[in-house]
Chains A and B, each alone.
Chain A
Amino acid sequence: MSDLGGFSLHELFKGEAEMHAAALSEGLVRLEGLSDPATVEPLMRAAHSIKGAARVIGLDIAVRLAHAMEDVLVAMQKGREAIQASRIDQLLKGTDLLASLAQVEESAVPAWTAAHDAAVTSLVESLRVAPPSRPAASTPIAEVAGVIETPAASVVQSAHVISETQSIQGAEVIESSLTATAHEQPTPFVASSIPAAVTASQSAPVTPATSATPVTPATPSARSTAVRVTAEKLDRLLQLAGETMLESRRLEAVRTEAVEIKRELTRLEDELDHLRSVVRRAGLDASLLAPARGILDRSRGCVLAHLLTVESAIRRGEETSTQLYHEVLSSRMRPFSDVTAALPRTVRDVARALGKDAKIEVIGENVPVDRDILARLDAPLNHMLRNALDHGVESPEERRARGKSPQATLRVEARHHAGQLRIRVSDDGRGIDLEALRERIVRKQLASSDMVAELDRQELLEFLFLPGFSTAQKVTEYSGRGVGLDVVQTTAREIGGVARIHTELGQGTVFELDLPITLSVLRALLVEVCGETLAFPLARIDRVVQPEREAIATVAGRMQFLLEDADAAQSSMTNGSVASGSLSNAASVTTSVGIIEAARVLQLGEPRSDDSRANIVVLGSGDERYGFAVDGLVGEEDLVVRALDPRLGKVAHLAASAVRENGDPVLIVDTEDIIQSVRMALNEGRLRGARPALESASRRVRRALVVDDSATVREVERQLLLRMGFAVETAVDGLDGWHQLRDGNFDLVVSDIDMPRMNGIEFVRTLRADARFTSIPVIVVSYKDREEDRRAGLEAGATAYLTKGAFQDSTFADTVRDLVGVEMSELAPSHAPSHAPSHAPSNELSNAPLRGVEGSARRSSTEQQSRDGGSRGAP
Chain B
Amino acid sequence: MRRLLDRPLSENDLEENTRLVAQRVDESRGTDQGVASILVFRIGAERLALDAEATHRVVPISTVRRVPHRSSETFAGIANVGGELLLVARLGASLGLIAQERSSHFIVIGGAGARWAFAVDAIEGVRRVRRSELVSPPATVRHAVDGCAQSVYCDRSVEGNDSLITLLDGAKVCALLARSIA
Spell out A's residues near B (CB within 8 Å): 239-240, 242-243, 246, 532-533, 602-604, 642, 645, 647-648, 651-654, 657, 659, 663-667, 738-739, 742-743, 766
B78 touches A653 (CB 8 A): no
Q: For A738, what are the chain B residues with a Cβ–Cβ distance below 8 Å?
A: 182
Q: For B67, what are the chain A residues with a Cβ–Cβ distance below 8 Å?
A: 648, 651, 654, 667
User: With A657-B85, A659-B83 known to touch, is A666 a contact of B65 (CB < 8 Å)?
Assistant: yes
Least Cβ distance of A263 to chain B in Å? 26
Q: For B68, what are the chain A residues with a Cβ–Cβ distance below 8 Å?
A: 602-604, 651-654, 667
A652 touches B87 (CB 8 A): no
User: With A532-B65, A603-B68, A651-B68 known to touch, is A645 a contact of B83 (CB < 8 Å)?
Assistant: no
Task: Give bound CA distance, A739 to B64, whole Å.
Answer: 21
User: With A665-B78, A665-B79, A742-B69 known to touch, is A647 a contact of B87 (CB < 8 Å)?
Assistant: yes
**Residue ID in chain B nearest A666 by CB atoms:** B65
Task: Give bound CA distance, A237 to B79, whole Å.
Answer: 19
Least Cβ distance of B173 to chain A in Å? 16
A240 touches B83 (CB 8 A): yes
Q: For A743, what are the chain B residues with a Cβ–Cβ distance below 8 Å?
A: 69
A648 touches B65 (CB 8 A): no
Q: For B84, what are the chain A residues with a Cβ–Cβ distance below 8 Å?
A: 239
**Residue ID in chain B nearest A533 by CB atoms:** B65
Q: For A645, what are the chain B residues with a Cβ–Cβ distance below 8 Å?
A: 78, 85-87
**Residue ID in chain A nearest B82 by CB atoms:** A243
**Residue ID in chain A nearest B63 by CB atoms:** A664
Least Cβ distance of A756 to chain B in Å? 16
Contacts between chains A and B (CB distance < 8 A), count: 70
Task: Give bound CA distance, A23 to B122, whole Å.
Answer: 56
User: Which residues 86-117 of B have a CB within 8 angstroms of A?
Assistant: 86-87, 114
B45 located at the interface, meaning its Cβ lies under 8 Å from any Cβ of chain A in the complex: no
Interface residues on B, range: 20 to 34
Task: Give bound CA distance, A603 to B69, whole Å.
Answer: 6
**Residue ID in chain A nearest B178 by CB atoms:** A647
A-B residue pairs in contact (CB < 8 Å), sample of 22: A239-B84, A532-B66, A603-B68, A603-B69, A604-B66, A647-B114, A648-B70, A648-B181, A651-B67, A651-B70, A652-B68, A654-B67, A657-B78, A657-B85, A663-B62, A664-B62, A665-B63, A666-B65, A667-B65, A667-B68, A738-B182, A739-B70
**Residue ID in chain B nearest A654 by CB atoms:** B68
**Residue ID in chain A nearest B116 by CB atoms:** A647
Least Cβ distance of A232 to chain B in Å? 10
B85 touches A642 (CB 8 A): yes
A665 touches B83 (CB 8 A): no
**Residue ID in chain B nearest A659 by CB atoms:** B80
Q: For B85, what are the chain A residues with a Cβ–Cβ distance below 8 Å?
A: 642, 645, 657, 659, 665
**Residue ID in chain B nearest A240 by CB atoms:** B83
Task: Give bound CA distance, A239 to B86, whole Å.
Answer: 13
Task: Give bound CA distance, A743 to B69, whole Å.
Answer: 6
Task: Give bound CA distance, A240 to B82, whole Å.
Answer: 8
Task: Give bound CA distance, A665 to B116, whole Å.
Answer: 15
Q: For B178, what are the chain A residues with a Cβ–Cβ distance below 8 Å?
A: 647
Least Cβ distance of A433 to chain B in Å? 44
A648 touches B87 (CB 8 A): yes
Q: Which of B78, B86, B87 has the most CB of A within 10 A?
A: B78
Task: Give bound CA distance, A540 to B65, whole Å.
Answer: 23
